[in-house]
Amino acid sequence: MALTFYWYPNCGTCKNAKKWFDTNNVDYKSVHIVEATPSKEELMNLMEKSDLPAKKFFNTSGKKYRELNIKDKIKDASTEEMAEILASDGMLIKRPIVTDGEIVTVGFKEETFQETWK
């Protein structure tokens, strides 16, 4: 089954992940995270399967994150509230997110991709 690869084409980290997939002949379907931002429900599902804290899904180095002062907004937010905030703007989401429907990785680390997606 092809992986779903949520990415933003101008993101250097996403380009590195895409290059890794192409070099390793990994089949994937790319989804532009801003043009087709995952819904709150999709994000909740990804969070649950990732075993990562919901806060790890935020692009903390992004301009929007700082402009909207998201750090303070999510301090005491529930996972559901965080998913709602993320679903409101794809630029708030840490990327890339990769899933096969069961396993989810967030961000790109070559070692993680090697272990998980090879």
Residues 27 and 19: their CA atoms lie apart, in Å, by 12
Confidence of residue 1 (pLDDT cuts 50, 70, 90): low
Q: Indicate the residue type of 18.
A: K
Average pLDDT over residues 75-85: 97
Sketch out the chain's domains with CATH numbers: 3-117 (3.40.30.10)
Q: Indicate the residue type of 94.
A: K
Average pLDDT over residues 53-81: 96
Burial (CB count within 10 angstroms: exposed 0-12, middle 13-18, buried 19+), residue 37: buried
Mean model confidence pLDDT for the chain: 97
